[in-house]
Amino acid sequence: MLPIDRVRLAKGFVLNKMYFHGYVCRKIGHGKHTSVDNLGKGCPSELRPFLGTAMQELKSKNRLLITWPTSYGEQACVVANQAGYDFANAYNEYAHLPLMEYGKIRPKPKPQPLPSDELRKLKFPKTRGQS
């Protein structure tokens, strides 16, 4: 695989992580944000050398990653648009993850109901004196 493709996948990893955890903001400092140091955590080892280049390109060239300095370290959030989701989906295909749809909120999975025998175990026994 070419280094250009690896940089694209590293961009996709960063954007996928940020979209998945909801680090999306409209203006600098507004919305949920995280430390820039946390963006590389969990990255596959074959993409790790390309993370620095990918984050620099996301900041300057693509303008999808917004960073600002704070007293407790540099913070970052991501802009939601179709180009960012294209990068994230390129990584998702590489990692065999489900694809993301731009602008759609993923529904939270509903818990499965307990079987009837499990429900019977949870019921409290009747005490004396109750009618």
Residue 120 has which token pair?
């019977």
- C-alpha span between 43 and 92 (Å, rounded): 13
Reported confidence tier of residue 106, pLDDT bands at 50, 70, 90: low
pLDDT beyond 80 at 34: yes
* pLDDT on residue 89: 92
Per-residue model confidence as pLDDT tens digits over 41-90: 999 999 999 999 999 999 999 999 999 999 999 999 999 888 999 999 99
Starting at the edge strand that comes first in sequence, how are the strands of the sheet with 75-78 ordered? 34-35, 75-78, 65-68
Q: Rg (Cα) of the chain, in Å, rounded?
A: 22
* pLDDT on residue 105: 60
| Domains, the chain, ordered by start | 3-122 (1.10.10)
Its pTM surpasses 0.85 = no
- C-alpha span between 21 and 49 (Å, rounded): 23
